[in-house]
Chain A
Amino acid sequence: MSAALLEIDDVVARYGQIEALRGVSLMVGEGEAVALVGANGAGKSTLMKCLMGLLAPASGSVRFAGKDITRKATFTRAELGIGYSPEGRHIFQGLTVHENLLVASRDRDGGRGHAEDIYAIFPPLREKTAARGWELSGGQQQMLSIGRALMLRPRLLLLDEPSLGLSPLLMTEVLNRVQDIAARGTAVLLAEQNVHKALSVSHRAYVIKLGRIIKASASSELLADADLTSAFLGAY
């Protein structure tokens, strides 16, 4: 296993009375693609928010690249190299596609050069550079959301349900790009309800249920054990 880039230790998170995470521990290695699979309400998005500092954990710790970032501000985490594509995409609606990319860049040239790389990864965006966020289709928004997260040249990419609302064809397309991104050395933590596809593009996987990690193994192993997958996750 590669050196640990992200280490989550016994994280508990609450929304008021609801305990959404009940002591989650997991690890993502440098350049590794890790899937986080689980049913509706299992706590996947909650964990992503804790990692990004958008929700403060009640206890537990998060370490990134050897630093304790549990109490760090959200923008600091971005600066340290965590890219985030949230559930629901959250692209900047009033900014154009190109502006959505540039605004996330920390490059000297304002990101103009790097934006070209993003258009190479997601060609449909190239035809829409001047379109406003709200003019995009769901698939284009998803591509833009991932592309924007890549603009800060992250060491770790957090992807929360990129397949949500996409056609099977488009979903395959987007997840294949995710696989490419990981192959080029960016670590990926991919939260998905779409278990089969998520497992097929990742190295390892964690199964989360009711705020607890109930299984951790190689993706190929989980994938082979189809019965196990459906037992843990319901009808998939």
Chain B
Amino acid sequence: MLLQILANALALGAAYALLALGFVLILNATGAVNFAHGDMVMAGGYVAIAMGSVLQLPGALLLPLVVAVMALLGFVFSWFAYFPLKNRPPVSVFISTIALGIIFQNSANAIYGAAPRKGPPLLSEGNFGMGGITIGAQALGIVVVAIVLIVAQHLLLNRSGIGRKLRATAQDREMAEAVGIRVNRMIALTFALGSALAGAAGLMLSNTFFITPTDGTNYVIKAYIAVTIGGWGSLSGAVCGALIIALFEVLFPSLPLLIPPLKIIAPWLFTQTASTILLYVGLLAIMFFRPQGLFGETVQRRV
């Protein structure tokens, strides 16, 4: 029982990690919060549903296509939401991303309606049995896909020439340009990369949790919380933050299942609603008492 719950928490955390990573990559490159990042998850879910219904392929095979489409969408997105406003204060970009996010939501609503839709599973709906414990194939698939994408992202950023340029751009845009880096290209690429990661998360989450046009807001707030927990600007912190949120979201409401007396003592406490409230209280507490994040040290360095 506990193992199954942990597997679900890990799968959710892995999907959140992809989402939070993309969010923080764009944050570092532009200095601005991309509020439409959650809508990229939503868009990824619908792209997967659309492609799945045409191609009749499992999610694992659709994944590269969804990632490519979402990268393109992120690229185009940056030309509307970021570049026209890049010399304005970051809050202008924040507002323009909200506006574009709303356009995305309404487009999705116009095409698919407000009712929840279910995305294709990565492989199948079944379970894996291993030594007496059963783990959902989807949960296992999410973890594997997320690990592959996070490792790929890490190698791209830290072991390639283009990755060096992306990091230099995130650290000091003026200086990056002064050493000959085409900074705008790097920022557009970052939007593509971040949106691709969000789209991959969307494909996988849309199967487990379904998808509606307005889900994005919830997801971007999750990313925001993960980054706050992990330390503003830190990539590894964002992944840790995502795992902590997921663990809390999955584990907390199921505590009474694991410890039956809790059901009698405080049944109202272990509900989905109460756990959401607690999550936000936790976020506020971190913002007040540890503005550098749970893991961040003093001033956050962007590495």
Contacts and interface: CB of A to CB of B under 8 A. Distances in A.
Interface of A: 52, 54, 73-75, 78-79, 84, 86, 90-95, 99, 102-104, 106, 110, 132, 134, 148-149, 151-152
A149 B178 CA distance: 9
Given A94-B167, A104-B180, A152-B180, A74 B301 contact: no
A110 B180 contact: no
8 contacts: A90-B172, A91-B175, A92-B172, A95-B164, A103-B164, A104-B180, A148-B179, A152-B179
A79 B177 CA distance: 10
Contacts of B164: 95, 99, 102-103
Given A99-B164, A102-B161, A103-B164, A94 B177 contact: no
A95 B183 CA distance: 17
Nearest to B177: A74
Contact of B174 (A54, A103, A151): A54
Given A134-B301, A148-B179, A152-B180, A103 B172 contact: no
A54 B178 contact: yes
Contacts of B301: 93-94, 134
Nearest to A81: B180
Contacts of B161: 102-103, 110
Contact of A94 (B174, B175, B183, B303): B303
Contact of A92 (B168, B177, B180, B183): B168
Given A93-B301, A95-B168, A103-B176, 13 more contacts: A73-B177, A74-B178, A75-B180, A75-B181, A86-B175, A92-B172, A92-B176, A93-B302, A94-B167, A94-B171, A94-B302, A95-B171, A103-B165
A26 to B, nearest CB: 20
A73 B302 CA distance: 26
A104 B179 contact: yes
A99 B174 CA distance: 17
B182 interface: yes
A85 to B, nearest CB: 9
A106 B182 CA distance: 12
B178 A52 contact: yes
| Highest count of chain B CB atoms <10 Å: which of A75, A99, A106, A110 | A75
Nearest to B303: A94
B181 A92 contact: no
Nearest to B165: A103
